[in-house]
Structure 1
Amino acid sequence: AATAVAHSWLGVITGDWWTEAGVLALTVLAIGSAVSGLAALFGQRGIGLGALLMVLLGNSFSGVTSAPHLLPEPVGAIGQWLPPGAGGSLLRSVAFFDGSAAGGPVLTLALWSVLGLAAVLLARRTPKPVE
């Protein structure tokens, strides 16, 4: 839906529609699995930690509204290690630069996705204490 609005209706991204949809899906997967993994490991505190990490730090350090290079260091670099920044850089890369320099953001998003899903699986295997 986000790709349909941003690409087809508003015309603010101009790359291949399916590639942009894949980028947004991978970004959502990375953020969702990371927050789910934290929630599985730490309960409600994990959800709060995930929200703090993704929304407060991730969005503000991402550089999506301008460019990560325009943020003071190390804020711009930290933002690119988090899914919102990596997703924004990857979308910018595929929408405007034909996928140039997409490897780093893809790797970052894949790593967050795998680690988040692994945390969910780890929490399911850990025996619950008897109360």
Structure 2
Amino acid sequence: MANTLMNRNDFGMLDPFERMAESFWAPFENMTQVLKTDIDENDDRYQVKVDVPGIDKKDVKLDYRDNVLSIKVQKESFVDHEDKDQNVVMNERHAGTLQRQYALPNVAADKISATQADGVLTITLPKTAPAKSEGHIEIQ
């Protein structure tokens, strides 16, 4: 039973040119690993929609502190590649954390709500009146 996993050479698993090509594209691989987000604002609220396909809501952590909304997603996946005789050809495991933060001022933190449906996390942040501040400080 020969497969590509058994085709080793003196350079390890990959041909040196293949390794060079992989390292060339490596900086661009994680660009897809971003929480895609839309933020709408009106006079009463901010509404944040985040794509989280395949993520259970227990793996999503939300926090609003110091006018910043923080979203943290723990993602783990396992892909099983077995043939009909239960011979393992290859197994892949991926785990990681995705995070985003957004400055959203003047929010009533105690009234923030969140729902998750069809792979989209929707966070509603009701606004409060901004703190009145003159901004001028007189020196005595």
Same fold per superposition (TM over 0.5): no
Instruction: Kindly indicate which of the two structures has a greater share of residues assigned to helix.
Output: 1
Give TM class, smaller chain: under 0.3
Instruction: Kindly indicate which of the two structures has a greater share of residues assigned to strand.
Output: 2
| TM-score of the pair, normalised by structure 1 | 0.26
Q: Which structure is larger by alpha-carbon Rg, 1 or 2?
A: 2
1 or 2 for the larger relative contact order (CA 8 Å, sep ≥6)?
1
